[in-house]
Amino acid sequence: MTTPDSSAPPQPAATWPQTLVGAGVLLTGVALAFGAIGISSDAGYGGVGPNFLPWLVSVVLTLCGAWILWEARTGGFRELDAPSGAEHAYWPGFIWVSAGLLLNAALITTLGFILSCTLCYLLAVQGLRRASGQAGVNSPRTWATDFITGAVISAPVFWMFTQFLAINLPGLTNTGWI
């Protein structure tokens, strides 16, 4: 009867989630490679074909997935920091962020890109502020600051896509500026 090698690191239960993540990344890379097979390789303007980027992404994901899997199965991530933050999820914050994303998707054709993305930002930041326990989250000043910041972020993105890249995004008016 042989005894197990006591010098080998024990396989804690914490390595299984890491193994699953590695397997998921590896399988995603393989699936992308399978999909890239059907893309034409005829070289376009720049000497590379339309299948170059899908193949590049699939190869990188496959390599990263294999590396994560190897790390997980040989003892887990060795230099992993201890978990920080709350012991349990803050569900109200999750609801605020989810509401922002869902309302953005539902209202983008009605309100236009700028206002729907501003609303998404406003609600997501409110959820994050509440999750971190910031004081004054219900003050009108905080709401106004978050609204203005969301508009300052989303308006240039809208204008960049519509005016400079000629990509149509839903606007509030037909002018292309709002």
Domain range list for the chain: 15-74, 91-165
The C-alpha atoms of residue 40 and residue 61 are separated, in whole angstroms, by 21
Q: What is the pLDDT of residues 113-130, one digit of tens each?
A: 999 999 999 999 999 999
pLDDT of residue 32 exceeding 90, the answer is yes
Range name among 55-69, 73-87, 115-129 with the lowest pLDDT average: 73-87
Contact 171, 112 (CB under 8 A): yes
pLDDT level of residue 161 (50, 70, 90 thresholds):
confident
CA distances from 137 to 123, 133, 140, 168, 172 (A): 11, 9, 8, 35, 29
The C-alpha atoms of residue 114 and residue 163 are separated, in whole angstroms, by 14
> What pTM does this model have?
0.59
pLDDT level of residue 155 (50, 70, 90 thresholds):
very high
pLDDT of residue 1 exceeding 60, the answer is no
